[in-house]
Copies of this chain bind each other. A is one copy, B any other.
């Protein structure tokens, strides 16, 4: 998928590729020209990506080539042991988890499991989890607590799956239960919004001691399309809704909803997954180091204060 605002970037990139091909095939030295173009591309990417609107960032967050959890697992984590099932009804492929190792840290990793191919997305329901997914997550949180392992969660979902069976089996109960239990889980929780943070389905695994967001990730109480169709009575107004809802990492950092932005390479995570993963790794390790040094009572008290402080009102 080519995003409209990326056209020039893509043009320059293909020109670079052309020159590189030319240079190789004809043994020409075009390194100066290539370097020049690359610099230009970089500058352009930076400029474009700095100025993206909320709606544009949402497109980046939804980009089909954006790294998904499985990519982060292979790029950043070692020794991943996937643990399946909610011990009640099913193993939800839309939300997965298990033991994972990040440098010196052994953790329980839980995250939405978007796919990139049609096949993967069919199997993983586009990362939209059912109650059994949230209940599996809770089981793994409790296992982490029992084994005294920090928890890392990756958020990347359009939302909790709104289907008949999901309703029947208590999507509301499953999310509510997670929110309540996560508030008091006695190990550190670091959350990264890596792509789409879609409403209740996102926060259902998102009650972190620290909540990070990638530059172009979004996090929203409702999809801009849904908001527009309710408040503007027309889904076409989604770009305005996206702006109004303040769904970008930058806005949410200012609002105090998230704690830190993890910088994506200019041009977006889909242009350089490796570099993205490297930034994520550094950020996670930094925060794990801080959180793991805290005693359990301090950790829980600070978590309670953090969420107690969410919101702005008059009185």
Interface set of A (CB-CB < 8 Å, partner B): 87-89, 131, 135, 168-170, 173, 177
Contact = CB atoms under 8 A, between A and B. Distances in A.
A175 to B, nearest CB: 13
Most buried by B among A131, A168, A170: A170
A173 B87 contact: yes
Contacts of A89: 88-89, 168-170
Contacts of A169: 88-89
A170 B139 CA distance: 16
The 9 A-B residue pairs with the shortest CB-CB distance in the complex, in nearest-first order: A89-B169, A87-B173, A88-B88, A88-B170, A88-B169, A87-B170, A89-B89, A89-B168, A88-B173
A89 to B, nearest CB: 5
Given A88-B89, A88-B135, A88-B169, 5 more contacts: A87-B177, A88-B88, A88-B131, A88-B170, A89-B170
Nearest to A89: B169
A135 B170 CA distance: 15
Contacts of A177: 87
14 contacts: A87-B170, A87-B173, A87-B177, A88-B88, A88-B89, A88-B131, A88-B135, A88-B169, A88-B170, A88-B173, A89-B89, A89-B168, A89-B169, A89-B170
A219 to B, nearest CB: 28
A169 B132 CA distance: 11
A69 B131 CA distance: 33
Contacts of A170: 87-89
